Amino acid sequence: MEWTPIKLSYHLRSYAFGKRNIVEKLGKADAPEGTVAETWEISDYRETTGGVKSGPHAGRTLHELVTEYPDELVGAGWHGPHFPLLLKFLDAAHRLPVHLHADDETARRIYGEPNGKTEAWHILWAEPGATILAGVKEGVKRKELFEAFKEQDHDAVMYRYDIRPGDTVYVPGGVLHTFGPKTLVFEVQQTSDLGQFVTPDDLYGGRFDEETWEKNINAALDELRTDYRPRPNPGLVLQEGQNRRTICAAGPYFALERWTLTETHTEPAHPRRFLALSNIGDPVTIEYAGGREPLERAQSCILPAAIGEVEITPSGNESSLIACYVPDLELDVISPLREAGYSEEEISALGEVEI
């Protein structure tokens, strides 16, 4: 079986918080007219599973390939109901509703789904003064949270942090959060779309009636995790020749890296895991055993586990890619960062990394 970089059709969401920043600031040339709040670049969530656009698997869906070739696509010995990660560009031109996502235990117990949704946001653009709200303040009781949410006084019970381009925020399932306005992010997450809202509006700007709103708040409080407080993190840099590799976030479900390439990067074979790439800069060329494939700005692809060694060459002076994968934390994250001289505290701050 020949394996090539897999480019997929993307799924569009026109939520009320978005405008046109994915087109105008990121440069996604093939986006339609109107609101482009999210583009699900790589997805195998139910009906949103991407269609393969070219190569030997053209016309098939990502879900079909995951089902038929789990070892070759996702990684040797992998088993699961769907591709494990969902990658998206997200335009928070306006603030998102304050919400949380179920963790794995909650997803299975309450919703009968195989997993919840831990996520991370990599900030691509943010106006000065842009902030996030993430995590609830220590010692706040359930009644206080409920009252604050009804008054929409989220700062009374949540932490607010400034953000800037290049920051990354790791958010486990069960942690309350929001960001925006005037923010553009790349998001990696577990393959899930579960969510509970504590604000009175839905994702399309519709207003909940009072009973539904209060029911939503109580459901979110039932699922709330209070022991993790996300903070923006600039990441930890590994210099590789003239290229720079920044490990931005890591945990049991995914690692997110940002690569800044000024010369050809050779990525070794990884038969135990795939690599997903999203281009946020100048075009690059991916060379593999069977040929070469361009990856344009605001495009994404999957390098299957069985593709072997690849070379990635920037077209200009510098290119910037986001790389995501399901890590062996010791091998992929902890050991290289330790060797580079980073402390256990710095490594642990990337997300959920137990050392």
pLDDT tens-place string over residues 142-187: 999 999 999 999 999 999 999 999 999 999 999 999 999 999 999 9
Mean pLDDT of 186-208: 97
Contact criterion met (CB below 8 Å) for 271 and 75: yes
Residue 133 has pLDDT above 90, yes or no: yes
The confidence score (pLDDT) of residue 206 equals 96
The confidence score (pLDDT) of residue 1 equals 79
Determine, yes or no, domain membership for 228.
no
The confidence score (pLDDT) of residue 94 equals 98
- Percentage of the chain surpassing pLDDT 70? 100
**Cα–Cα–Cα angle for 333, 2, 293, nearest 5°?**
70
SS3 52: strand
Q: Give me 135's structure tokens.
A: 């995590």
Domain boundaries, position 114: 95-223
The confidence score (pLDDT) of residue 297 equals 97
Residue 17 has pLDDT above 90, yes or no: yes
Residue 213 has pLDDT above 90, yes or no: yes
Mean pLDDT of 229-239: 98
Determine, yes or no, domain membership for 198.
yes
* Region of 110 on the Ramachandran plot (φ > 0 left; ψ -120 to 50 alpha; else beta): alpha
Determine, yes or no, domain membership for 32.
no
Determine, yes or no, domain membership for 44.
no
Structure confidence at residue 82 as a pLDDT band (50, 70, 90): very high
Structure confidence at residue 214 as a pLDDT band (50, 70, 90): very high
State the total domains in the chain. Answer: 1
Q: What is the mean pLDDT of the chain?
A: 97
The confidence score (pLDDT) of residue 109 equals 98
The confidence score (pLDDT) of residue 120 equals 98
What is the helix, strand, coil percentage profile of the chain, to 5? 20, 35, 45
Determine, yes or no, domain membership for 168.
yes
The confidence score (pLDDT) of residue 348 equals 98
The confidence score (pLDDT) of residue 53 equals 97
Contact criterion met (CB below 8 Å) for 164 and 184: no
Structure confidence at residue 316 as a pLDDT band (50, 70, 90): confident
The confidence score (pLDDT) of residue 196 equals 98
Residue 100: give its domain's CATH number. 2.60.120.10
Q: Give me 38's structure tokens.
A: 């999210």
Residue 317 has pLDDT above 90, yes or no: no
Q: How far apart are CA 217 and CA 266, in angstroms?
A: 49
Q: How far apart are CA 9 and CA 18, in angstroms?
A: 20
Q: How far apart are CA 273 and CA 37, in angstroms?
A: 30
Q: How far is CA 56 from CA 1, 65, 238, 305, 307, in A?
A: 9, 11, 35, 16, 13
Determine, yes or no, domain membership for 117.
yes
The confidence score (pLDDT) of residue 290 equals 87
User: What tens digit of pLDDT does each residue of 22-51 get?
Assistant: 999 999 999 999 999 999 999 999 999 999
Residue 111 has pLDDT above 90, yes or no: yes
Phi and psi at 61, nearest 5°, equal -100, 160
The confidence score (pLDDT) of residue 44 equals 98
Q: Which H helix or E strand runs over 218?
A: helix 210-223
Determine, yes or no, domain membership for 184.
yes
Q: How far apart are CA 239 and CA 324, in angstroms?
A: 18
Global pTM reads 0.97
Contact criterion met (CB below 8 Å) for 162 and 56: no
Structure confidence at residue 137 as a pLDDT band (50, 70, 90): very high
Contact criterion met (CB below 8 Å) for 204 and 104: no
The confidence score (pLDDT) of residue 45 equals 98
Determine, yes or no, domain membership for 242.
no
**Distance between start and end Cα atoms, the chain:** 39
